[in-house]
Protein backbone atom coordinates (compact mmCIF):
# COMPACT_ATOMS: atom_id res chain seq x y z
CA UNK A 1 0.00 0.00 0.00
CA UNK A 2 1.59 3.31 -1.09
CA UNK A 3 1.78 6.05 1.55
CA UNK A 4 -0.09 8.51 -0.67
CA UNK A 5 -3.10 6.19 -0.99
CA UNK A 6 -3.09 5.08 2.62
CA UNK A 7 -5.89 6.53 4.71
CA UNK A 8 -5.40 6.19 8.43
CA UNK A 9 -8.22 6.26 10.96
CA UNK A 10 -8.28 6.46 14.72
CA UNK A 11 -11.33 5.35 16.70
CA UNK A 12 -10.57 7.14 19.95
CA UNK A 13 -8.57 10.34 19.81
CA UNK A 14 -6.88 10.53 23.22
CA UNK A 15 -3.30 10.64 24.34
CA UNK A 16 -2.00 7.51 22.64
CA UNK A 17 -3.85 8.03 19.34
CA UNK A 18 -2.68 11.65 19.28
CA UNK A 19 0.93 10.61 19.92
CA UNK A 20 0.93 8.03 17.11
CA UNK A 21 -0.73 10.45 14.68
CA UNK A 22 1.81 13.18 15.51
CA UNK A 23 4.65 10.75 14.77
CA UNK A 24 3.14 9.77 11.41
CA UNK A 25 2.53 13.38 10.40
CA UNK A 26 5.94 14.68 11.52
CA UNK A 27 7.70 11.92 9.60
CA UNK A 28 5.57 12.63 6.51
CA UNK A 29 4.31 9.03 6.46
CA UNK A 30 0.81 10.26 5.64
CA UNK A 31 -0.57 13.72 4.91
CA UNK A 32 -2.93 15.20 7.53
CA UNK A 33 -5.71 15.18 4.93
CA UNK A 34 -5.52 11.35 4.93
CA UNK A 35 -6.01 11.05 8.68
CA UNK A 36 -9.40 10.91 10.37
CA UNK A 37 -10.17 10.52 14.07
CA UNK A 38 -13.36 9.95 16.02
CA UNK A 39 -14.35 10.52 19.63
CA UNK A 40 -17.64 11.20 21.39
CA UNK A 41 -16.63 14.70 22.53
CA UNK A 42 -14.59 17.57 21.10
CA UNK A 43 -12.27 17.52 24.12
CA UNK A 44 -9.40 16.01 22.11
CA UNK A 45 -10.65 16.53 18.56
CA UNK A 46 -9.83 20.26 18.48
CA UNK A 47 -6.11 19.47 18.49
CA UNK A 48 -6.55 17.04 15.59
CA UNK A 49 -8.37 19.67 13.57
CA UNK A 50 -5.60 22.19 14.28
CA UNK A 51 -3.14 19.67 12.75
CA UNK A 52 -5.26 19.49 9.59
CA UNK A 53 -6.77 16.05 10.29
CA UNK A 54 -10.40 15.35 9.76
CA UNK A 55 -12.57 14.54 12.77
CA UNK A 56 -15.97 13.06 13.41
CA UNK A 57 -18.16 11.91 16.28
CA UNK A 58 -19.16 8.86 14.23
CA UNK A 59 -16.94 5.78 14.51
CA UNK A 60 -18.47 4.21 11.40
CA UNK A 61 -17.29 7.17 9.35
CA UNK A 62 -13.70 6.37 10.32
CA UNK A 63 -14.14 2.85 8.92
CA UNK A 64 -15.76 4.18 5.76
CA UNK A 65 -12.92 6.63 5.15
CA UNK A 66 -9.82 4.69 6.06
CA UNK A 67 -8.09 1.39 5.39
CA UNK A 68 -5.73 1.27 8.37
CA UNK A 69 -7.75 1.77 11.55
CA UNK A 70 -6.33 2.11 15.06
CA UNK A 71 -8.75 1.22 17.85
CA UNK A 72 -7.53 3.58 20.56
CA UNK A 73 -10.31 3.69 23.12
CA UNK A 74 -9.94 2.46 26.69
CA UNK A 75 -10.26 -1.35 26.85
CA UNK A 76 -13.63 -1.35 28.65
CA UNK A 77 -15.17 0.69 25.81
CA UNK A 78 -13.83 -1.60 23.08
CA UNK A 79 -16.58 -4.27 23.06
CA UNK A 80 -19.20 -1.61 22.32
CA UNK A 81 -16.99 -0.04 19.67
CA UNK A 82 -16.42 -3.40 17.93
CA UNK A 83 -20.14 -4.02 17.89
CA UNK A 84 -20.73 -0.58 16.42
CA UNK A 85 -18.09 -0.75 13.65
CA UNK A 86 -18.60 -4.41 12.67
CA UNK A 87 -21.05 -3.71 9.80
CA UNK A 88 -18.48 -1.41 8.14
CA UNK A 89 -15.43 -3.68 8.49
CA UNK A 90 -14.35 -5.24 5.20
CA UNK A 91 -11.47 -7.30 3.75
CA UNK A 92 -9.62 -4.11 2.73
CA UNK A 93 -9.34 -2.97 6.36
CA UNK A 94 -6.35 -3.47 8.62
CA UNK A 95 -7.51 -3.13 12.22
CA UNK A 96 -4.94 -2.39 14.91
CA UNK A 97 -6.06 -2.56 18.53
CA UNK A 98 -4.11 -0.70 21.21
CA UNK A 99 -6.35 -1.82 24.04
CA UNK A 100 -4.33 -3.25 26.92
CA UNK A 101 -5.41 -6.75 27.91
CA UNK A 102 -7.65 -7.40 24.89
CA UNK A 103 -6.21 -10.50 23.20
CA UNK A 104 -6.11 -11.40 19.53
CA UNK A 105 -8.31 -14.36 20.38
CA UNK A 106 -10.98 -11.97 21.65
CA UNK A 107 -10.56 -9.60 18.71
CA UNK A 108 -10.76 -12.23 16.00
CA UNK A 109 -13.33 -14.62 17.41
CA UNK A 110 -15.34 -15.04 14.23
CA UNK A 111 -18.79 -13.71 13.73
CA UNK A 112 -20.97 -15.07 10.94
CA UNK A 113 -24.35 -13.66 9.99
CA UNK A 114 -26.84 -15.92 11.73
CA UNK A 115 -30.42 -15.77 12.92
CA UNK A 116 -29.10 -16.67 16.35
CA UNK A 117 -27.15 -13.73 17.82
CA UNK A 118 -23.75 -15.05 18.93
CA UNK A 119 -21.03 -12.98 20.55
CA UNK A 120 -22.43 -9.68 19.25
CA UNK A 121 -19.25 -7.67 19.91
CA UNK A 122 -17.01 -9.48 17.39
CA UNK A 123 -15.48 -8.60 14.02
CA UNK A 124 -16.25 -10.46 10.77
CA UNK A 125 -14.35 -13.72 10.17
CA UNK A 126 -10.97 -13.27 8.48
CA UNK A 127 -10.58 -9.61 9.45
CA UNK A 128 -6.95 -8.48 9.34
CA UNK A 129 -6.30 -7.68 12.99
CA UNK A 130 -3.09 -6.78 14.77
CA UNK A 131 -2.55 -6.08 18.46
CA UNK A 132 -0.20 -3.23 19.29
CA UNK A 133 1.22 -2.42 22.70
CA UNK A 134 2.72 1.05 22.83
CA UNK A 135 4.21 2.87 25.81
CA UNK A 136 3.77 6.45 26.94
CA UNK A 137 6.90 7.94 25.26
CA UNK A 138 5.18 7.26 21.92
CA UNK A 139 3.63 10.69 22.50
CA UNK A 140 7.10 12.22 22.04
CA UNK A 141 7.99 9.78 19.24
CA UNK A 142 10.42 7.87 21.48
CA UNK A 143 8.17 4.92 22.21
CA UNK A 144 8.95 1.24 22.53
CA UNK A 145 6.19 -0.72 20.83
CA UNK A 146 5.57 -4.37 20.12
CA UNK A 147 2.84 -5.87 18.02
CA UNK A 148 1.49 -9.31 17.22
CA UNK A 149 -0.51 -10.24 14.15
CA UNK A 150 -3.78 -12.13 14.10
CA UNK A 151 -4.36 -15.04 11.74
CA UNK A 152 -5.95 -12.83 9.05
CA UNK A 153 -2.97 -10.46 8.92
CA UNK A 154 0.02 -11.28 6.72
CA UNK A 155 3.55 -10.05 6.05
CA UNK A 156 2.23 -7.05 4.13
CA UNK A 157 0.15 -5.76 7.05
CA UNK A 158 2.96 -6.39 9.54
CA UNK A 159 5.47 -4.56 7.33
CA UNK A 160 3.06 -1.66 6.85
CA UNK A 161 2.56 -1.24 10.59
CA UNK A 162 6.26 -1.55 11.39
CA UNK A 163 7.23 0.94 8.70
CA UNK A 164 4.63 3.52 9.75
CA UNK A 165 5.23 3.24 13.48
CA UNK A 166 9.00 3.49 13.16
CA UNK A 167 8.20 7.21 13.15
CA UNK A 168 6.95 6.88 16.75
CA UNK A 169 9.89 4.93 18.17
CA UNK A 170 11.12 1.35 18.24
CA UNK A 171 8.54 -1.05 16.84
CA UNK A 172 9.09 -4.82 16.85
CA UNK A 173 6.87 -7.74 15.87
CA UNK A 174 6.70 -10.38 18.62
CA UNK A 175 4.69 -13.48 19.52
CA UNK A 176 1.57 -12.39 21.39
CA UNK A 177 2.86 -14.05 24.57
CA UNK A 178 5.52 -11.31 24.82
CA UNK A 179 2.97 -8.52 25.00
CA UNK A 180 2.33 -8.81 28.74
CA UNK A 181 6.10 -9.03 29.28
CA UNK A 182 6.46 -5.81 27.29
CA UNK A 183 3.93 -4.23 29.66
CA UNK A 184 6.09 -5.28 32.64
CA UNK A 185 9.31 -4.19 30.96
CA UNK A 186 8.35 -1.04 29.14
CA UNK A 187 4.70 0.00 29.57
CA UNK A 188 5.04 0.06 33.34
CA UNK A 189 8.83 0.29 33.06
CA UNK A 190 8.62 3.97 32.19
CA UNK A 191 7.35 4.55 35.76
CA UNK A 192 10.28 2.64 37.29
CA UNK A 193 12.64 4.85 35.32
CA UNK A 194 10.88 7.98 36.59
CA UNK A 195 11.25 6.68 40.14
CA UNK A 196 14.97 6.11 39.53
CA UNK A 197 15.34 9.58 37.96
CA UNK A 198 13.62 11.15 40.95
CA UNK A 199 15.89 9.32 43.39
CA UNK A 200 18.97 10.27 41.36
CA UNK A 201 18.01 13.95 41.45
CA UNK A 202 17.12 13.85 45.13
CA UNK A 203 20.53 12.41 45.92
CA UNK A 204 22.05 15.47 44.24
CA UNK A 205 19.65 17.79 46.11
CA UNK A 206 20.76 16.13 49.35
CA UNK A 207 24.33 16.96 48.43
CA UNK A 208 23.42 20.62 47.77
CA UNK A 209 22.42 20.96 44.10
CA UNK A 210 19.21 22.91 43.24
CA UNK A 211 16.29 20.58 42.40
CA UNK A 212 15.51 21.87 38.89
CA UNK A 213 19.09 21.52 37.73
CA UNK A 214 19.41 18.09 39.36
CA UNK A 215 16.23 16.92 37.59
CA UNK A 216 17.43 18.12 34.18
CA UNK A 217 20.80 16.46 34.65
CA UNK A 218 19.16 13.22 35.85
CA UNK A 219 16.94 13.15 32.72
CA UNK A 220 19.88 13.84 30.42
CA UNK A 221 21.89 11.12 32.18
CA UNK A 222 19.16 8.56 31.46
CA UNK A 223 18.85 9.76 27.86
CA UNK A 224 22.62 9.61 27.31
CA UNK A 225 22.97 6.18 28.91
CA UNK A 226 20.08 4.82 26.81
CA UNK A 227 21.57 6.30 23.65
CA UNK A 228 24.97 4.70 24.39
CA UNK A 229 23.26 1.34 24.86
CA UNK A 230 21.37 1.60 21.58
CA UNK A 231 24.19 3.09 19.51
CA UNK A 232 27.01 0.82 20.69
CA UNK A 233 24.87 -2.31 20.99
CA UNK A 234 26.99 -3.22 24.02
CA UNK A 235 25.66 -5.15 26.99
CA UNK A 236 24.88 -2.72 29.84
CA UNK A 237 27.25 -4.64 32.14
CA UNK A 238 30.12 -3.84 29.76
CA UNK A 239 29.19 -0.14 29.58
CA UNK A 240 28.91 -0.01 33.36
CA UNK A 241 32.28 -1.72 33.76
CA UNK A 242 33.87 0.89 31.48
CA UNK A 243 32.96 3.64 33.99
CA UNK A 244 34.30 1.78 37.04
CA UNK A 245 37.82 3.00 37.78
CA UNK A 246 39.37 0.65 40.36
CA UNK A 247 38.82 2.17 43.79
CA UNK A 248 36.90 5.09 42.19
CA UNK A 249 33.59 6.84 42.80
CA UNK A 250 31.36 4.63 40.62
CA UNK A 251 32.31 1.30 42.17
CA UNK A 252 31.70 2.77 45.63
CA UNK A 253 28.22 3.87 44.51
CA UNK A 254 27.46 0.56 42.76
CA UNK A 255 28.35 -1.30 45.95
CA UNK A 256 25.60 0.69 47.73
CA UNK A 257 23.09 -0.17 44.98
CA UNK A 258 23.99 -3.87 45.25
CA UNK A 259 23.53 -3.72 49.03
CA UNK A 260 20.05 -2.26 48.37
CA UNK A 261 19.37 -5.19 46.00
CA UNK A 262 18.50 -2.85 43.15
CA UNK A 263 18.85 -5.54 40.49
CA UNK A 264 16.68 -8.13 42.25
CA UNK A 265 14.10 -5.46 43.11
CA UNK A 266 13.80 -4.30 39.50
CA UNK A 267 13.54 -7.90 38.26
CA UNK A 268 10.78 -8.49 40.84
CA UNK A 269 9.02 -5.35 39.59
CA UNK A 270 9.02 -6.56 35.97
CA UNK A 271 7.73 -9.95 37.12
CA UNK A 272 4.97 -8.39 39.26
CA UNK A 273 3.73 -6.09 36.46
CA UNK A 274 3.84 -8.91 33.88
CA UNK A 275 1.85 -11.21 36.16
CA UNK A 276 -0.65 -8.44 36.84
CA UNK A 277 -1.07 -7.82 33.09
CA UNK A 278 -1.75 -11.56 32.60
CA UNK A 279 -4.32 -11.54 35.44
CA UNK A 280 -6.05 -8.47 34.03
CA UNK A 281 -6.26 -10.04 30.56
CA UNK A 282 -8.07 -13.03 32.10
CA UNK A 283 -10.60 -10.93 34.07
Ligand X SMILES: NC(=O)c1ccc[n+]([C@@H]2O[C@H](COP(=O)([O-])OP(=O)(O)OC[C@H]3O[C@@H](n4cnc5c(N)ncnc54)[C@H](OP(=O)(O)O)[C@@H]3O)[C@@H](O)[C@H]2O)c1
- Binding residues for ligand X, rule: CB under 6 A, are 11-17, 38-41, 43-44, 59, 72-75, 77, 80-81, 98-100, 133-136, 187
Report yes or no: 107 and 124 within 8 Å, Cβ to Cβ: no
Cβ 13 to ligand X shortest distance, Å? 4
Cβ 221 to ligand X shortest distance, Å? 23
**Dihedral pair phi/psi, residue 193, rounded to 5°:** -65, -35
Cβ 90 to ligand X shortest distance, Å? 19
d(CA 37, CA 57) in angstroms, rounded, equals: 8
Of 44 and 166, nearer to ligand X (C-beta) is 44
C-beta nearest to ligand X: residue: 14
Of 181 and 214, nearer to ligand X (C-beta) is 181
Of 6 and 13, nearer to ligand X (C-beta) is 13
Report yes or no: 85 and 63 within 8 Å, Cβ to Cβ: yes
Cβ 60 to ligand X shortest distance, Å? 10
Cβ 61 to ligand X shortest distance, Å? 11
Report yes or no: 75 and 101 within 8 Å, Cβ to Cβ: yes
Burial class (CB in 10 A: 0-12, 13-18, 19+), 107: buried
Cβ 198 to ligand X shortest distance, Å? 19
Of 253 and 280, nearer to ligand X (C-beta) is 280
Three-class SS state of 73: coil
Residues 6+ apart with CB under 8 A from 204: 214, 217, 218
d(CA 83, CA 79) in angstroms, rounded, equals: 6
Of 134 and 184, nearer to ligand X (C-beta) is 134
Closest CA to 184 of 273, 280, 275: 273
Of 82 and 160, nearer to ligand X (C-beta) is 82
Other beta carbons less than 10 A from residue 1's beta carbon: 16
Amino acid sequence: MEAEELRVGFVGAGRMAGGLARGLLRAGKVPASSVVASAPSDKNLDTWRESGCRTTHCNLEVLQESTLVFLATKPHVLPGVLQEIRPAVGPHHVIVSLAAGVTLQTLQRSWHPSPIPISPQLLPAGTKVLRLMPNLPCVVQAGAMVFARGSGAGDEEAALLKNLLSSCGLCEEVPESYINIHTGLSGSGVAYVYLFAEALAEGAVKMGMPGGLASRIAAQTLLGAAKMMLETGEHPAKLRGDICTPGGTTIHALHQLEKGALRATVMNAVEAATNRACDMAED
